[in-house]
Structure 1
Amino acid sequence: MIQRWAAGLVAIACAGCHGGGPLLHPAHVLRPGTVSLGGGVSGEMLIAGAVAAPRDADASTGGGPATTEDAARRKLSEIAVAPGVAPWVSGRVGIEGDNEAGLTYTGRALRLDGRHAFSLGEATALSVGLGASALFAGGPGSEGSDVHGAGIDVPVLLGFRSDADLYALWFGPRLGLELLGGEVRLPAAGAATPGPLVDASGQHLRVGLVLGVRGGFRHVHVALEATATYHHAAGEIAGAPVSIDQGTIVPGGGLTVTF
């Protein structure tokens, strides 16, 4: 049993090409000098706009394999939207003036962010953040693809919490833009193995709605979050234009410790 759990954790930690980057923090920021460390897992689940996997047609009907366009659209989904399971590891620190900074690793990206919270009462806050990410869209399981990039995102959260911080609730929009470039492998026509590396580039716009909840006592909390996201990605693969529109749900959960 222990070996199975260990193997699962290693597989998640190595899922460098998958998406899923939850915030897992409330709208309220940490007190100045307070540090929060957390770890957990997330998943990017495709619910709309899926692209069928390339497959060979029946030769007796005179058909051929799936078109290059289908293969390119599927590859664009893999490197931009990146459905799958990913780890979540984060560290945050409170800064004077109702500010907070954080560094988060989510398998596909390393994100540095800062945010400011506006107090709307004793239990209510509105936070506005800005994150910058280094992207690693190529990795284990990506068949030799090598795609990297950069992105920014802006989360705006409205949240409530109890007096003793036993629980917190937050929700709000999150907008993001990514630029990607590198090389990918497309399936070779009529062959079971991938073809040669081809150039790839693109832009990825995402618009999401975040809903999260956190509960705990004193220095230990468990956070759960879900984000419904619309993705539009467009670019070129092997010199041909390609675009996709997809919808995903990103559930995530983690354990955080503050000190």
Structure 2
Amino acid sequence: MIRRWAAVLLAGACAGCHGSAPLLHPAHVLRPGAMRLGGGMSGEMVVAGATAVASDAGASADPATAEGAARRKLSEITVSPGVAPWASARVGIEGENEAGLTYTGRAIRLDGRHAFPLGDATLSIGLGASALFAGGPGPGAEGIDVHGAGVDVPLLLGFRSDADLYALWFGPRLGLELLGGEVRLPVAGAAPRGPVVDASGQHLQLGFVLGVRAGFRHVHVALEAAATYHHAEGEIAGDPVAIDQGTITPGGGLTVTF
């Protein structure tokens, strides 16, 4: 049993280059001075536009071609499909405010948000800033050394029970990222390693988040899913490239409030 859990944790740590970043918090903010710690995992799955659109609409999307390889690398450093860990710490602040710090393998995100009570519902508006690390220890990240920064704005409408046994939240989330660095391109044939080239990109994402949380007193289990449209464009080895992809991002975690 211990070996199984160790393998799961190691797999999460090795997924450091992947890009899923769930919120996993309700629209309601914590009371002033209260803290919430959480941990879990999430995954980013491409469900549309895997071959995407390059700057030349008639070009081949075959990943064995140079242009296909550039699109795949742009997807890896921006959309970053795969499995990633999630760890979060949040604190309530006077005036219906909350701040949080989240680690998602690919990014460290600092955010703040304000809640507006609307009768039985609550509207939450947040702003997050992220430091991005689009490279990691996993074999899929070999030859990737890309860093950057991002901002995102989640807008959540939520409901919860009087005793906080359960909560439901949903709403849009808009994000923008800027990245730059180096990537290793694959090569055809028997050669094991391709050239290292300069890479840069801009990544726009627009998603819709749906989450639910249930538990008793201080311990809750949170589940969340997001459907997101991604548009990324940039340069790989000096050549312009662009992609459009759609993803589904499920995530879950255990939280403790005190």
**TM-score, structure 2 normalization:** 0.93
Letter in 2 for 1:67: T
State the alpha-carbon separation in 1 of the partners of residues 38 and 155 from structure 2.
21
Q: Provide the residue aligned with 2:220 in structure 1.
A: 221
In the TM superposition, what are the counterparts of 1:85-164 in structure 2 within 5 Å? 85-121=83-119, 123-140=120-137, 141=139, 142-164=141-163
TM-fit CA distance, 1:191: 4.1
| Contact persistence 1:235–1:242 (CA under 8 A) | yes
In the TM superposition, what are the counterparts of 1:162-241 in structure 2 within 5 Å? 162-241=161-240
TM-fit CA distance, 1:162: 0.5
Corresponding pairs, count: 247
CA offsets per residue over residues 203-222 of structure 1, 9 Å max, x none? 00000000000001110110
From the superposition, tell whether residues 44 and 65 of structure 1 become closer, same or farther in structure 2 (CA, over 3 Å).
closer
What SS class does the counterpart of residue 72 from structure 1 fall into? Answer: helix
State the alpha-carbon separation in 1 of the partners of residues 75 and 191 from structure 2.
20
State the alpha-carbon separation in 2 of the partners of residues 15 and 120 from structure 1.
39
TM-fit CA distance, 1:189: 4.2
From the superposition, tell whether residues 65 and 8 of structure 1 become closer, same or farther in structure 2 (CA, over 3 Å).
closer
CA offsets per residue over residues 85-139 of structure 1, 9 Å max, x none? 0000000000000000000000110000000000001x31000000000001011
Structure 2: tracts of 5 or more residues without a match = 53-61
| Contact persistence 1:65–1:190 (CA under 8 A) | no
| Contact persistence 1:65–1:189 (CA under 8 A) | no
| Contact persistence 2:63–2:69 (CA under 8 A) | no
| Contact persistence 2:74–2:232 (CA under 8 A) | yes
Structure 1: tracts of 5 or more residues without a match = 53-63
What SS class does the counterpart of residue 195 from structure 2 fall into? Answer: strand
Q: Provide the residue aligned with 2:59 in structure 1.
A: none
CA offsets per residue over residues 212-256 of structure 1, 9 Å max, x none? 000011101100000000000000000000000000000000000
| Contact persistence 1:105–1:111 (CA under 8 A) | yes
TM-fit CA distance, 1:153: 0.2
What SS class does the counterpart of residue 187 from structure 1 fall into? Answer: coil
Q: Provide the residue aligned with 2:34 in structure 1.
A: 34
What SS class does the counterpart of residue 32 from structure 1 fall into? Answer: coil
State the alpha-carbon separation in 1 of the partners of residues 5 and 169 from structure 2.
31
State the alpha-carbon separation in 2 of the partners of residues 192 and 210 from structure 1.
43
Corresponding position: 1:19 with 2:19: yes
Moved more, 32-41 or 138-147: 138-147
TM-fit CA distance, 1:199: 0.2
Letter in 2 for 1:66: A
Corresponding position: 1:79 with 2:74: no
Moved more, 40-49 or 4-13: 4-13
